Chain A
């Protein structure tokens, strides 16, 4: 099992959700996060006080998939989140030791 963690542009969330749904990925978790990579931030001015905003709003999407589906899901996610500009985000992949379904203690891939 692998965990796919993607940091994406907030406005691409709907595209990513639909792309994952289209290939049968039902379970995912998202959170609102702030961060930056190579993308520069922007300047905000409040009554003459300038603030450099370099931590920008992003969405973190997390899902866990079987090893067999990893490439397919990663590619679908990446394609859906892409605009081609700096700031599109990153995808990180981790090994998952175990998964447990709380409702009935299913474990392993059966719990996904």
Chain B
């Protein structure tokens, strides 16, 4: 009897052990699964965040030292610091605007034309991702990345008013320009609910991967308005105003080229295949454009120049910017090559025909190259590269003309026209205001002495030191 009891007891023990062991094991797998999921998500956030922070730093490098050196070398030696100071000062000024209200006006939800104030003083912009802009990076990373675009855009304009604008006027102009032109334009194209935003509910879906309209057309067209409003430099074009140091310019242009990988490939907002595709398109566009400009120059003037090569590379980078996350490598080569030739024609033939003094060709390169790139994006954009655009049922939609959607070219043209109008009207109004308040142009004596001494009280190259 005791034996039977012992057997029963043993059976109970065994079965109860197995009974209890079953749910315990199931809990273990669930826990481990969710731990693996969490680890995978953390790993993706780490990877994407690492690339996006790197990209943000690369884009800042485009302004300083990239653009500062590129423009600094192109002016006469008496203006080298004043010109570099434009780029450098904007790194500081635009950052402050961005922190206070700039990011909010560009990226907070508002109306189709400008954002609201929900991110005022960066309220609510922390480490939690914003799923609309980047589900796998901290919202703060997205904010700082976009800031670098807001910094370089007004710095590009400084090429048009180089060597003759008052420093105080430049600062005031930039604050107003960022507020009236850049923040609304960035909201329209990239902000949630923006009028031209193809992916987040825009009325007219425009493809602008990294800022062909937002950055290059707005800055290039505003540059032309500035050049016309300020008038020519004293002595232009009678006096020789050749670049004082093309070595600086070459170094600056190559830094721009490298930084542009952050600008374009970073616009994928992830360390993904799309980022690789944009990286490749960017490099191909720059290379083909450098050749396009050099060959055009060789044919016209008999010699291919360093300045021509670097100007072409920048023109190609500009033109490929809107297209970079939408086109395959070979269309990227074509877009670049066309941009090199087109921008060469703009800065040589067209500029001399109309006689405006766009000193460093901000319009000829950024306005013209940006417009060409925006239109060609409508032609070559394909869902084989970017499948982000889907209908309600989740079906991937055709993008550009090559996908059988010719209407996109018209959408792109509308975006170009809106950029032109906003830039022209906005810049003209701002210049009138600044001119009335403090005056935009330095005196002839100051201009002859150069910006370095007259505006900043120092010299770039001191013979006595």
Contact = CB atoms under 8 A, between A and B. Distances in A.
Interface of A: 44-49, 51
A45 B305 contact: yes
Nearest first, the 3 A-B pairs at minimum CB distance are: A48-B348, A45-B301, A51-B240
B347 A48 contact: yes
A51 B238 CA distance: 10
A31 to B, nearest CB: 13
Interface residues of B, number: 20
29 contacts: A44-B242, A45-B297, A45-B301, A45-B303, A45-B305, A46-B242, A46-B243, A46-B305, A46-B307, A47-B307, A47-B308, A47-B311, A47-B347, A47-B348, A47-B361, A48-B300, A48-B301, A48-B344, A48-B347, A48-B348, A48-B349, A48-B351, A48-B352, A49-B237, A49-B241, A49-B242, A49-B352, A51-B240, A51-B242
Interface of B: 237, 240-243, 297, 300-301, 303, 305, 307-308, 311, 344, 347-349, 351-352, 361
A47 B365 CA distance: 11
A58 to B, nearest CB: 19
Contacts of B347: 47-48
A46 to B, nearest CB: 5
A45 B303 CA distance: 9
A49 B352 CA distance: 9
Nearest to A47: B347
Nearest to B308: A47
Given A47-B308, A48-B347, 15 more contacts: A44-B242, A45-B301, A46-B242, A46-B305, A46-B307, A47-B348, A47-B361, A48-B300, A48-B344, A48-B348, A48-B349, A48-B351, A49-B241, A49-B352, A51-B240
Nearest to A44: B242
B351 to A, nearest CB: 7
Contacts of B237: 49
Contacts of A49: 237, 241-242, 352
Contacts of B349: 48
Contacts of B297: 45
Contacts of B352: 48-49
Contacts of B348: 47-48
A23 to B, nearest CB: 33
Contacts of A44: 242
Contacts of A46: 242-243, 305, 307
A45 B293 CA distance: 14
Nearest to A50: B301
Contacts of A47: 307-308, 311, 347-348, 361
Nearest to B301: A45
A48 B349 CA distance: 8
Nearest to B305: A45
A51 B307 CA distance: 15
Contacts of A45: 297, 301, 303, 305
Nearest to B239: A51
Contacts of B307: 46-47
Contacts of B344: 48
B315 to A, nearest CB: 11
Contacts of B241: 49
A107 to B, nearest CB: 31
Contacts of B242: 44, 46, 49, 51
A13 to B, nearest CB: 21
B158 to A, nearest CB: 17
A45 B237 CA distance: 14
